[in-house]
Amino acid sequence: MIYYDIHTHHLPEHPEDIAVLSHIVSIDSDAFQSDTEQIFYSVGIHPWYIKEEKDQVSVCKHMLSSAKVIAVGEIGLDKFADKSLQEQLFVFKQQALLAEENRLFVIVHCVKAWDELIALKRELHAKMPWIIHGFRGNAQLAQQLIREGFFLSFGEHFNREAVRVAWPNHLFVETDDSTVDIRSVYDTISAVLGVSVDTFASQVAENVHKILLFPL
């Protein structure tokens, strides 16, 4: 059984687990933390850390060429961030276009800006998968987002009904900045769904493979 952590800020507790480490441009150092086989990266400008936009976007663009990078993110819209939503939209857009160009999936951070996020996805006709990370919304919001083509990633805290909506084809698992072991998140979510951890893990593995080979 292989465990996949689709979005995290730290190395996995079990080195054999596969993790997508989030690299925040201008916050994390320029070098990647690890070059072991199980560790992959997402690179992006988080809405809390937008500073020198142009420089950051070009650093991001450069880093995406590394073979270790399999996603753009986390990028997003956050109504509690210092930068205006307009600026955040501008930075998000440029990175979403880089994801399309490089055929990478996107890890999305969204706080209270769902309408704007949906509108942006429609406007860009984005074809690459957009995964909303740390999803804690309810079943209704989950349904709406899945209808719009989004995928949802769940961590330590989540809405049980929303997990049922995303299962089986739109669901991913993550630890984000929590120190919880990805394996215990697998245990919790599979228990909520009433399926064995084995069944759950093989479905998550299938979902991961699908987004990596996403056809344009």
For Zn ion, the binding residues (CB under 5 A) are 176
Instruction: Return the structure tokens found at 162.
Output: 């929303």
Of 44 and 193, which CB lies nearer to Zn ion in the complex structure?
A: 44
Which residue sits closest to Zn ion, CB atoms considered?
176
- Residue ranges of alpha helices (H) inside 133-196 are 139-147, 160-166, 182-193
Please tell me the distance from the alpha carbon of residue 189 to that of residue 42, in angstroms, as a whole number.
Answer: 24
Of 21 and 204, which CB lies nearer to Zn ion in the complex structure?
A: 21
CB of 199 to Zn ion, least distance (A): 27
CB of 49 to Zn ion, least distance (A): 12
State the Cα angle at 181 between 177 and 185, rounded to 5°: 95
Please tell me the distance from the alpha carbon of residue 40 to that of residue 2, in angstroms, as a whole number.
Answer: 15
CB of 159 to Zn ion, least distance (A): 18
Of 77 and 193, which CB lies nearer to Zn ion in the complex structure?
A: 77
CB of 22 to Zn ion, least distance (A): 5
CA 174 to chain centre: 9
Of 99 and 193, which CB lies nearer to Zn ion in the complex structure?
A: 99
CA distances 166 to 7, 151, 152, Å, are 17, 8, 7
**β-sheet bridge partners, residue 111:** 78
